[in-house]
Structure 1
Amino acid sequence: MSNNKMEEESNKQISTRTAMMPCGTTTTSTTIFESAAYHGLLPREDVQHLLKTEGDYLLRVSQPNMKSDSRQLIISTLIDKGATWNVGIRHVVIHRKSTGKYFINESTDFDSVEALLDHYKSTQTPLLTNVSNCIIKTPVPREKWELHHSDIELTKRLGQGQFGEVHRGKMKKKGRVQDIAVKLAKSSAVTKELIKEMMKEARMMRSYNHPNVVRIYGVALDDDPIMIVMELVKGGSLIDYLVRHAGKTTDAERMNNMISGSAWGLEYLHSRKCIHRDIASRNCLYDQNKNIKISDFGLSREGDSYKMTVARRVPIKWMAPEILRHFIYTRMSDVFSYGVMIWEIFSDGKEPFEEKKTAEVKQLLLNGSRLEFPAGTPVEIKDLVTKHLWCEDPKERIKMPEVVSRLEQITGVKQPPRPPRPDHDHKKEPKEKEAKDGSTRHHHGHGSSHHHHKEREASKTTVKTVDPTMATVVDGPNEKGPIESTTKVRRKSSRQTAAPQSKYARNVTSAGVSSSRAPSPD
């Protein structure tokens, strides 16, 4: 990474190589870190997607724990393809003696890690004496989404939150340099659970490819800090745009760009079984071409439903009533939150239930009360939200494909063709329970945020399953913020298809709806 302040920030991080130095853990030669089979801080949950044949193995580094920052070099190998991933894969620690020798079993030691690996591969000796099929055969190289820190340069910090930061940067890829946004965890906040949460978010986003969803390019795992590398969107958050342009945004822009674009993105996510769980204007980016992109997947889960089982900070003012009652999220709860975001868009970024305390809002939602749209909101939009998105019973709400269809009838703007679905051959990840540490949630950093934006974070609430009637307000700075860029703005796509004309359709071209995809770094 680059110089001056960036180097100072980098030096504050605990390098995996430095952390592996104490005797009793591991240190090894540079060649191991540069080996294609070395996957750095790859968590166990991701190992299962890479090992496909019995005898496949990779090298990785253990994650930090509460007792020590020291880490160990681990061999992960697939021993039983038919077993569940937590049984069929073994993780074996390479130790180091005070003499500098490396070993798995103390009776046999080696001058280097390379020599140790060569021995166990050539002799097919089990790594574990009591597990006869725990052998290594084929080293598994890094995937193309596993990036190198050496290829990434951080150029400007865009924002920060309690646990993470977002930087603008550049990435070298196949002879060219690409502008990127980089999300990383603060050194003081790095925990095993935080790494798992970051990797879960990255794992989910890797399979998404849609012009209205922020795209991820990969993760840098070979050293600290872990970096999630994403497309760089020139603009900022939708909430900031709405506040800055209060009273100036036209209904055509609201409907053709903000509402329609986010509907297309959310419909796509739902088609991929994604429950976003935090749909709001603060979690959408809005570029200078007036293209909207859904971002921040820190709370997202894949599946048909998700039950929150422990206390967690959640945005109650955007929340569907069934979540308050039963703590169950579905794609229909996203639909409800999307309706609240539409209200935000027509309210110039005002906070929902602005004058109400959180406990009052909860009771209002449970009693069936809903937000009042401002005067001048198009009747078609108001009816769509109040009659079809904010229904008390989630089964009565319309699904996102129907929302998209109705918006096309209202606006006259038809969704551009969907990009091809990328191929991903990883196994389906088993369902994971909510992290017990509520502090592991992280988002885009918060840089030059508006004061109004900060006040909105006070509406985040911890819902305690011990007593479903209680909700405790958790105050804290907003961890989201704009993602900026110095890249050239992509030209507007000429492939947009017009639906039947409406009174809003005449402004479509000037509004700048685009179907262009983010460029791939591969």
Structure 2
Amino acid sequence: MEEEYYSWVRRPMFSTTVCRRVDPSKIPAIHPVRQTSLRGQREEASECLSCGSRACGVDSETRPVAKSLQRSSHSRPLERATSPLPATALSEAFKEARSERRRFSTPLPRKQASPAKSEEGEWREEWRGDLSQLYLGHKFASGAHSKVYHGIYKNLTVAVKVISQPDEGENPGLAARLEKQFNREVTHLSHFHHRNVIKMVAACRAPSVFCIITEYLGGGSLRTALHKLKEEPLALDRLVAIALGIARGMEYVHSQGVVHRDLKPENVLFDDDGVPKIADFGIACEETRCEALTEDPGTYRWMAPEMIKHKIYGHKVDVYSFGLLLWEMLSGRVPFDDMTPIQAAFAVVDKNLRPAIPVGCPPPLRGLIESCWSVMPERRPEFWQIVGVLEQFQSAVYRDGSLGVVQTAACQEHKNRLLHWMQKFKISASEDGGRPPPPKFL
């Protein structure tokens, strides 16, 4: 029996394999023995297919093989060899200019990352507390969802604010809100550095508990100091000194673009030397984002009308609260103490009601209080203006023991004089470039 020969040719454009029966005597005619180029092979194959004769040495049975070669050469185009790009040596000046993007245009301003949190959303190492070195003592204050303990952290006397979250699945909305408050407070406190603002030491977070470690202020709160007076007013020199410290702290807070939103005597603490410090930034917000944080209201008795109405508001809501705080130090009483908080809110919004200023109030101080709690936010002074007025009050009290004004003068006259002082401060600020003077770092 005659031996059969087979030639296996794979067509690259298809997955099937073609099997052709070939005469072995005619294989050398198409076998690439000669060192010819691929282009020459393609031309020979095309001539053989065109002539159709046996003179070229190609049988009709081998024509499909030539066709497949021709088809494969057209289906896979030739590729040129890629040469490496020439290496160019850059000078150091060019590298520096390109890295800092200073060649052709000024770089766009970049949003600064929060000092307390990194880009991955984790607390930076310098603020992450070590719970193994924290020792809790007795509880000395509490709120709706938090408790404040005396503690020791790394041999320092500290105050530890513990925020307890509800059980898992019990109240997910409250849990999310408390976590947001914790994040905001740590973010704000981590970059506050002022004599009249509480100092943060560290922050810790566990699955069900958050805690904020701050300096311990042994002088108690302004609420405690007023309670000890049993509805008696503070001495004028002490009142002005405390008010000046609070105003300086709030001036600094506003210069950082932050609105406290809950300024009241409970959130003003004293150190051992009697220096007042602003505390509790749990519902504080950046002024550009306050409108989106309607779920965290302040306290109604000290809340500005526009905030009660859920209208657009800004940092002047803290000035309104400061006016009520001045009145409380002057009278020794809680604002609207004969009403519930809801009733007080309705009285402020619907009737434009304010607490009655005591008869013996010095007229300049009366004018300052009325300016701070004005119903129109644009008529309330800025805290840097309040600092300037209170510094003049303090100089007069140290010099004369009083505010140096005639007590029988008309209140409106002193109020106009106060507004003239504030206008003078505003003019001096505009001469310096239209911006208020920078806060004093004491």
> TM-score if structure 1 supplies the norm length?
0.50
Tell me which residue corresponds to 2:160.
182
- Contact 2:164-2:210 within 8 A present in 1 as well: no
Specify whether residues 143 and 505 from structure 1 end up closer, same or farther in structure 2 by C-alpha distance, changes over 3 A only: farther
Name the aligned partner's letter for residue 372 of structure 2: L
Match of 1:253 among 219, 238, 243: 238
Identity percentage over the alignment? 25
Is 1:166 the counterpart of 2:151? The answer is: no
Specify whether residues 310 and 336 from structure 1 end up closer, same or farther in structure 2 by C-alpha distance, changes over 3 A only: closer
Q: 3-state DSSP class of the match of 1:236?
A: coil
Match of 1:157 among 125, 139, 143: 139
The alpha-carbon deviation at position 308 of structure 1 amounts to 5.4
Q: 3-state DSSP class of the match of 2:220?
A: strand
Tell me which residue corresponds to 1:50.
118
The alpha-carbon deviation at position 391 of structure 1 amounts to 1.7
Tell me which residue corresponds to 1:391.
374
By relative contact order (CA 8 Å, sep 6+), the higher-ranking structure is 1
Distance 2:321 2:346 in 1: 17
Name the aligned partner's letter for residue 146 of structure 2: G
- Contact 2:116-2:124 within 8 A present in 1 as well: no
Specify whether residues 209 and 382 from structure 1 end up closer, same or farther in structure 2 by C-alpha distance, changes over 3 A only: same
Distance 2:271 2:182 in 1: 25
Specify whether residues 369 and 218 from structure 1 end up closer, same or farther in structure 2 by C-alpha distance, changes over 3 A only: same
Provide structure 2 residue ranges, at least 5 long, that are not aligned to the other structure: 1-112, 169-174, 405-439
Tell me which residue corresponds to 1:405.
388
Tell me which residue corresponds to 1:216.
200
Tell me which residue corresponds to 2:433.
none
Tell me which residue corresponds to 2:98.
none
Name the aligned partner's letter for residue 401 of structure 1: W
- Contact 1:305-1:331 within 8 A present in 2 as well: no
- Contact 2:116-2:127 within 8 A present in 1 as well: no
Specify whether residues 49 and 363 from structure 1 end up closer, same or farther in structure 2 by C-alpha distance, changes over 3 A only: closer
Name the aligned partner's letter for residue 354 of structure 1: D
The alpha-carbon deviation at position 223 of structure 1 amounts to 7.0
The alpha-carbon deviation at position 291 of structure 1 amounts to 1.2
Distance 2:256 2:152 in 1: 30
Tell me which residue corresponds to 1:199.
183
Tell me which residue corresponds to 1:503.
401
Q: Which has the higher helix share?
A: 2
The alpha-carbon deviation at position 158 of structure 1 amounts to 2.1
Provide structure 1 residue ranges, at least 5 long, that are not aligned to the other structure: 1-44, 52-56, 61-140, 414-498, 507-514, 518-522
- Contact 1:206-1:216 within 8 A present in 2 as well: yes
Superposition map of 1:313-328 within 5 A: 313-328=297-312
Distance 2:148 2:193 in 1: 21
Superposition map of 1:116-515 within 5 A: 142-172=124-154, 177-186=155-164, 188=166, 191-221=175-205, 225-246=209-230, 247=232, 249-256=234-241, 258-304=242-288, 306-307=290-291, 310-348=294-332, 350-366=333-349, 367-386=351-370, 388-412=371-395, 501=399, 503-504=401-402
The alpha-carbon deviation at position 342 of structure 1 amounts to 0.5
Name the aligned partner's letter for residue 153 of structure 1: Y
Name the aligned partner's letter for residue 282 of structure 1: E
Specify whether residues 155 and 311 from structure 1 end up closer, same or farther in structure 2 by C-alpha distance, changes over 3 A only: closer
Distance 1:46 1:304 in 2: 15
Name the aligned partner's letter for residue 227 of structure 1: C
The alpha-carbon deviation at position 300 of structure 1 amounts to 0.4
The alpha-carbon deviation at position 352 of structure 1 amounts to 0.7
Distance 2:293 2:398 in 1: 46
Aligned-CA RMSD value = 3.1
- Total equivalences in the alignment: 287
Specify whether residues 504 and 148 from structure 1 end up closer, same or farther in structure 2 by C-alpha distance, changes over 3 A only: farther
Q: 3-state DSSP class of the match of 1:230?
A: strand
